[in-house]
Chain A
């Protein structure tokens, strides 16, 4: 049995209060820090030693990211806690905020201390409006208790926390696009700007996922070695919030040691597949990761183990498909999603994704031709030429379909229809008014 870290204060049907959080050791890390028991450098070193990596999907080492903001950089500086969370299949940050809002708040404050920030933005998507209101209430509670605002706990460290509402677009979760979105610009990624130097309003800015930040208070309280040791693999660290959805008995968000095998997540935590369902494919980390066939079930769910088999962990959101799911239609759904969410800034993404979608649509609806397969393959490979990480991510399920389910595509071609059903949408005309 492992000990919960992020869901330590899990209460039935309500978020933990500040008192409950403090009883479990909450805000001790912050007290330690502002009493100068830990310098800014010590804090960054601790996070680096803990092996913590970004939980938003890119898995960048958190301590290193923090260290990019150097002492001589100008002030003011900013911290952004990213809760855009629009990766299909992912709902961990939503759960986390609703389980222990103060854990996230303390994480944000500690990050603010580490990089010398004076203002933090909690960036949240519109469908989490009730979470945004919760965070506003709880940050006010934290302010009343002296943990936020001017001169935190009587020290010379001050930090304001603002909840910034987004209006919903997938690309807003990309760190450089998040920064543009907060500044009120169209959220196009800006890969030429280094956030550590030129983030919000041209000032040093740190952007981290909410789950990443929530790992920091326990690291400070119990030490980086303890945190690193929680993982089940050599290169992993801490526990992770794995979301499981699809054809399983108990879909949900489960906190498990980093590197828990995929099989255990599906069969034990999520209670196995639904009666009558047989495992056909798994997406390990949200829609921008590849389909995996059942032969990969024993892979440890951490960044390096998935990398070793040529795949990505993404957000650790496991989507389970059974024998009744058509992989071509699923890929079509995902590609439609990404084609619609593309910000339209660069050509490969804007033009390439609809191209793949159209070919998939024809295959799914019985109009496919043999030559479509190499066309899709070529275009999917071309997505790597896009400006940001969006299109390469969107190409992952397409590549997975081609690598592991090519037979199923050919079955569509041979039968001139989807072997799983008659048509993709029998009443598609109902969705959109006639042109």
Chain B
């Protein structure tokens, strides 16, 4: 269950919105941040807050890239697979990252820290190839740079942002 303070805060946000559904994404983000991903329980809590059926929330949740209905690592490595980034690495950086972390795309690394997801063009094309993790852009990527990023995320704890 989400903490009462969070519930109150979300309830209030929903109340002041033009329409409860306008807050649908914000509510899903907040609950997802609490659980780590949008759990079934979280989905039902979101539905109750928004005055929707769980199915209606599910319909929205599955539409979007940044709402996770399955467990993800603490950090989600959104690797750009847009055409500009592709031009520079043709998929080899995914391979490198997946091998390094011992996962397939979408899986959680053994230490629970990382998930790698290919993501639609991130808008960092002038630094291609690029990835975004916890709101921070990185690029142009090389295997060495990736090692550095992973190491920093492992050793320097920081808060996760709302749409990670």
Contact = CB atoms under 8 A, between A and B. Distances in A.
B86 interface: yes
A252 interface: yes
Nearest to B20: A184
A246 B86 CA distance: 10
Given A88-B83, A333-B86, A127 B132 contact: yes
B66 A432 contact: no
A119 B18 CA distance: 10
Nearest to B21: A184
A431 B82 contact: no
A67 to B, nearest CB: 25
A89 interface: yes
Nearest to B95: A427
Contact of B124 (A91, A119, A165, A337): A91
Interface in A167-199: 167-170, 182-187
Contact of A333 (B26, B63, B83, B104): B83
A204 to B, nearest CB: 14
Interface in A397-435: 421, 424-428, 430-433
B9 to A, nearest CB: 16
Contacts of B162: 129, 165
Nearest to A324: B87
Given A169-B63, A330-B86, A251 B128 contact: yes
Contacts of A184: 19-25, 50, 60
A74 B95 CA distance: 55
Interface string A245-280: 111000111000000000000000000000000000
Interface residues of B, number: 54
Nearest to B27: A184
A340 interface: yes
B123 A85 contact: yes
Interface range on chain A: under 10, 10 to 19, 20 to 34, or 35 or more? 35 or more
A88 B29 contact: no
B118 interface: yes
A168 B84 contact: no
B95 A426 contact: yes
Interface in B19-64: 19-26, 28-29, 50, 59-60, 63-64
A308 to B, nearest CB: 26
Given A88-B84, A165-B25, A321-B87, A430 B99 contact: yes
B123 to A, nearest CB: 4
Contact of B82 (A169, A182, A337): A337
Contacts of A343: 63
Contacts of B67: 167
A425 B91 CA distance: 6
Nearest to B162: A129
B64 A430 contact: no
A91 B28 CA distance: 26
B122 interface: yes
Interface in A216-264: 243-247, 251-253
A415 B149 CA distance: 41
Interface in B50-104: 50, 59-60, 63-67, 78, 81-84, 86-87, 90-91, 94-95, 98-99, 104
Contact of B81 (A119, A200, A321, A337): A337
Contacts of A170: 120
A353 interface: no
A146 interface: no
A365 interface: no
A431 B18 contact: no
Pick from B28, B107, B137 the residue with the most CB of A within 10 Å. B137
Contacts of A49: none
Contacts of B19: 183-184, 201
A119 B25 CA distance: 19
Contact of A127 (B78, B94, B128): B78
Contacts of A426: 95
A330 B94 CA distance: 17
Contacts of A337: 81-83, 120-121
A208 interface: no
B140 to A, nearest CB: 9
A405 to B, nearest CB: 15
Contact of B21 (A94, A185, A334, A430): A185
A89 B81 contact: no
A432 B104 contact: yes
Contact of B18 (A201, A283, A333, A432): A201
Contacts of A182: 22
Contacts of B94: 430-431
B125 A243 contact: yes
B113 interface: no
B84 A319 contact: yes
B144 interface: no
11 contacts: A126-B65, A165-B162, A166-B25, A166-B64, A243-B126, A251-B125, A287-B82, A333-B86, A336-B81, A427-B99, A431-B98
Given A89-B121, A333-B82, 12 more contacts: A86-B121, A94-B123, A119-B18, A126-B65, A129-B162, A166-B25, A166-B64, A168-B66, A247-B87, A317-B125, A428-B91, A431-B98
Nearest 4 pairs of A and B residues by beta carbon: A184-B21, A167-B64, A126-B163, A245-B125
Interface of B: 18-26, 28-29, 50, 59-60, 63-67, 78, 81-84, 86-87, 90-91, 94-95, 98-99, 104-107, 118-128, 132, 135-137, 161-163
